[in-house]
Amino acid sequence: MRELIDKYKGQGFKMTPQRLAILKYLEGNTSHPTAEDIYKDIRKTYPTVSFATVYNTIETLCKRGDVMEVTIDPGRKHFDPNPAPHHHIICTSCNTIGDVFVDYSSALNLPESIRREYAVSGNHVDFYGICKACRGRKHDLKKT
C-alpha cells in the first residue's frame, strides 16, 4: 500500500482516499472493469464518492499511461491497469475480457505497400470466442 502511495505521490498525482481506493481496486486487476464497475465497488467503502471522481481519475491514469482503455467492447469502455503491450480475447457469450501475452508482430507480415506508407509502431490483436464457463453452461443446458 505504501509503495502505491509513493509511486503516485512522487509523480505529482494528488492523493485522496477515494483515489487511493481506485488505485487499490485497479492494482493487479485483470477483469478489465468499466468505470461503472469501479464506481460500484468503491461506493461500498466511500458512499459519497461521485461517478465523476472515478471517471476523471481513470481518465487521468489513462493520460499518464498507467491505465489503458480497452476498446474491444463497442458498448462500454473497459480499462486495463496493465499498460504493457498485449492483446485481448473477449467471450462472445458473456463479454468477459482476457489478456493474451503473445507477440504476434512477426506473424503480421504487412504488405510492402503498407510498410512504405507507414512506420508501424505497434499492433493490437483482438480475439473472439466462447469462454470455458459459457461452454460448460451450454453443455449443461443440453443435458436437461
Residue 75 and residue 95 share a domain: no
Read off the pLDDT of each residue in 98-111 and give the average, rounded to a whole number: 77
Looking at residue 10, what is its pLDDT? Answer: 66
Q: What's the whole-number mean pLDDT along residues 81-99? A: 91
* Cut 0.85: pTM above it: no
Same domain, 3 and 74: yes
CB 128 within 8 A of CB 92: yes
pLDDT of res. 31: 93
* Helical axes 17-26 vs 35-45, angle rounded to 10°: 120
User: What's the mean pLDDT in 20-40?
Assistant: 94
- Tell me: pLDDT of 117 over 60: yes
Residue 139: pLDDT band (50, 70, 90) is: low
Cα 64 to chain centroid, rounded: 15
**pLDDT beyond 80 at 13:** no
Q: Is the pLDDT of residue 12 over 60?
A: yes
Which domain, by its residues, includes 62? 1-83
27 shares a domain with 97: no
Same domain, 55 and 95: no
| Total count of domains within the chain | 2
Same domain, 68 and 89: no
- Of the candidates 98, 79, 9, 99, which has an alpha carbon nearest to the alpha carbon of residue 38? 79
Higher pLDDT residue, 114 or 80?
Answer: 80
One domain for residues 12 and 30: yes
Q: Using one digit for the tens of pLDDT, what is the confidence trace for 125-136?
A: 889 999 999 998
Q: 11-14: long-range contacts (C-beta < 8 A, 24 or more apart)?
A: 11/64, 13/60, 13/64
Q: For residue 80, what pLDDT is reported?
A: 95
